[in-house]
């Protein structure tokens, strides 16, 4: 009986060891998949937040059309600034939260920071650029940025694109270093930078192929802009 009991105990211990080993394998395999799925979900939500905010701003600006009065209090006069308020954005995208000001950074993928910046080219032509930023959050966070030029003249002497999507994840090695830069002010003031590889000219045209902003000096310059 004692030998049989010991044999049964040894077999039970072996079963337990095998079970633990199998569970460890399953966890080791599925955990990265779960983490990856969560990261992707966070990124998709951040992009959707940027899209919702941008759509609201552009639609409101477009409704003014050619009848939009110019601000003649400035010299030279300039087109009226597009509205980037929380009330406007939430009216069209009620699930999107908006930071109190354009210098406050986004803290989550359902929150955006938005700003408008007046562009003046070498020929003295002016137009507004809108920038929206959203922080994806999670264990592998990214700052997703979109900017759009409104009524930029075709004859502009400044290189510009109608729209531009950027991924700031390569700018700083530690995400905590660049989260403060994930705001509307930076988004609107980041300059157009041609890709290093001419064959990648289409990057920045869609969320699937965003332009990687990997120069911290450019981001910091936009953040420190006095305007």
**For 146-195, how does the pLDDT look when each residue is reduced to its tens digit (9 = 90+)?**
999 988 887 776 666 667 788 887 777 777 788 899 999 999 999 887 77
Residue 23 to residues 9, 12, 30, 39: CA-CA distances in angstroms?
A: 21, 16, 10, 24
Q: Which pLDDT score, from 0 to 100, does residue 133 have? A: 96
Residue 191 to residues 66, 94, 123: CA-CA distances in angstroms?
A: 27, 30, 17
Instruction: Inform me whether the pLDDT recorded for 98 exceeds 80.
Output: yes
- The token pair at 13 is 């211990």
pLDDT digits (tens, 9 = 90+) for 53-86: 999 999 998 876 555 666 766 666 667 889 999 9
In DSSP terms, 146 is beta-bridged to 132, 165
* Whole-prediction pTM: 0.77
Instruction: Inform me whether the pLDDT recorded for 218 exceeds 60.
Output: yes
- The token pair at 12 is 């039970």
Q: Which pLDDT score, from 0 to 100, does residue 36 have? A: 41
Q: Which pLDDT score, from 0 to 100, does residue 204 have? A: 84
Tell me what the mean pLDDT of segment 37-46 comes to.
Answer: 74
- The token pair at 92 is 């069209």
């Amino acid at each position: 009986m004692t030998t049989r009991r010991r044999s049964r105990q040894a077999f039970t211990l072996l079963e337990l060891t095998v079970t633990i080993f199998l569970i460890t394998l399953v966890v080791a395999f599925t955990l990265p998949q779960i983490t990856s799925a969560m990261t992707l979900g966070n990124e998709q939500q951040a992009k959707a937040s940027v899209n919702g905010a941008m759509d609201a701003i552009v639609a409101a600006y477009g409704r003014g059309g050619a009848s939009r009065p110019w601000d003649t209090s400035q010299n030279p006069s300039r087109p009226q600034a597009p509205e980037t308020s929380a009330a406007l954005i939430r009216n069209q995208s009620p699930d999107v939260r908006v930071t109190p000001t354009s210098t406050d950074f986004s803290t989550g993928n359902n929150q955006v920071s938005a700003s408008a910046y007046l562009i003046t080219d070498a020929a003295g032509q002016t137009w507004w650029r809108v920038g929206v930023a959203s922080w994806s959050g999670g264990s592998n966070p990214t700052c997703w940025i979109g900017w759009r030029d409104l009524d930029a003249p075709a004859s502009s002497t400044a290189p510009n694109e109608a729209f531009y999507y950027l991924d700031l994840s390569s700018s700083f090695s530690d995400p905590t270093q660049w989260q403060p830069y994930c705001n509307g002010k930076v988004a609107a003031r980041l300059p157009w930078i041609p890709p290093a590889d001419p064959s990648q000219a289409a990057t920045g045209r869609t969320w699937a192929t965003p332009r990687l902003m990997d120069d911290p000096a450019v981001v910091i310059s936009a953040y420190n802009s006095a305007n």
